[in-house]
Amino acid sequence: MARRFFLHIVRFLPFTLLRKLANRSLIGINYHSIAGEDADPVINKNIYRSKNEFEADIQFLMKHFDVISPDELLQATGSVQKGNKPKVFLTFDDGLAIQYHSMVPILKKYNLKAIFFINPSFIDNKELHYKRKINHLYQLLENKQVNEVRDKWESLFASIGIEPSFTVSDLYRVSYKDASIIDRLAKLFDISFADVLEQQAVYITSEQIREMISDGFYFGGHSMDHPNYSELNVDKQIAQSIESTRWVLDTFGLKYALFAFPMNDQKISRHVIEQIHKEVDLSFGINGMMDDFTHRHIPRITVEQTGKSIRQCLKYEYLKYIFLRLKNGKIYRRP
């Protein structure tokens, strides 16, 4: 309701006014993919940019902001001062092959650098994220097929405490902690996820990463296999974060350590961030523009949720930030 209201209001407010009132010296913008290019039809329902729209975003940002490099962000330890124009940095989550083939060429065209956050379990297409597995099974299976293996279907779901409805929609009741069940369900129907990855590489490869690093792009950890952190206890949140960052650091011989929380970081505790910072130079979340308790944890915004133009997305984020700052103060209150 609040989002709809803010999106309606910002249509009548000038971008430059909102930017001035918000007075943000730095914002981070995060992307994932390009519309229509992913082999997963469910994923493709997300409101991604087309190539042309993504390039238009880049042109808009270069006109209204100083687009800074990851190195500048690191050198300033996240505390970047505003110059003649406010500054913006770009990040990309999940290490998708689409980023390498469709988005990096546009960044190169404009001589821009960005940070790419990756999940080690998926690099080189060794494994497929469990939600993508679910999407794949959902598209292939019919309720009739489920009923043909009714006893086995019921047994598998019972083993994780779920009473199935014997429809393909049962698949979406499987959580991260029970993800191994998805592989066993696939075997019931002789479906191979390795074949899916062979038909179209979903993730970037180690060779492509090394090429991008030599071109000046930066990389960081994004958890080992992209769980929903709300399903993990504190120790596992810290372990996933540090292990993934170490893997990126050691595998590619980097001199910096960066980490971005998967999905969002609204419920991540101060303790978890403090523990991660013992081994990480900078961490990143998805939490709009609100400052955090430390400059080393940097918020980002996503522009892939509403389908609105980059101008409208930023106007919305500025207005939301102004409202939250008046309501709760400038610092985000962490649990």
3-state SS track over 2-17: HHHHHHHHHCCCCHHH
Token output for 329:
């103060």
Are 87 and 210 members of one domain? yes
Count the domains in the chain.
Answer: 2
Is 22 a domain residue?
yes
CB contact set of 57 (below 8 Å; sequence gap of 6+) = 29, 49, 303, 310
User: Per-residue pLDDT tens for 193-250?
Assistant: 999 999 989 999 999 999 999 999 999 999 999 999 999 999 999 999 999 999 999 9
Please give the Cα distance from 11 to 218 (Å, whole number).
35
Q: How many other CB atoms are found less than 10 A from the CB of residue 326?
A: 9
What residue numbers bound the domain in which 35 lies?
Answer: 2-125+203-328
CA-wise closest residue to 138 among 189, 202, 176, 96: 189
Is 279 a domain residue?
yes
User: Per-residue pLDDT tens for 111-135?
Assistant: 999 999 999 999 999 999 999 999 9
Are 190 and 220 members of one domain? no
Are 139 and 112 members of one domain? no
Are 189 and 210 members of one domain? no
Task: Check pLDDT > 60 for residue 177.
Answer: yes
Instruction: List phi, psi (to 5°) of 324.
Output: -65, -35
User: Per-residue pLDDT tens for 15-73?
Assistant: 999 999 999 999 999 999 999 999 888 888 788 999 999 999 999 999 999 999 999 99
Share of the chain above pLDDT 90, in %: 81
Is 168 a domain residue?
yes
Is 335 a domain residue?
no
Are 86 and 216 members of one domain? yes
Are 250 and 298 members of one domain? yes
Read off the pTM.
0.95
Token output for 213:
């690093």
Q: Which pLDDT belongs to residue 1? A: 54
Are 93 and 172 members of one domain? no
Are 107 and 246 members of one domain? yes
Residue matched to tokens 């893997």: 247
Domain boundary among 144, 166, 197: 197
Are 246 and 313 members of one domain? yes
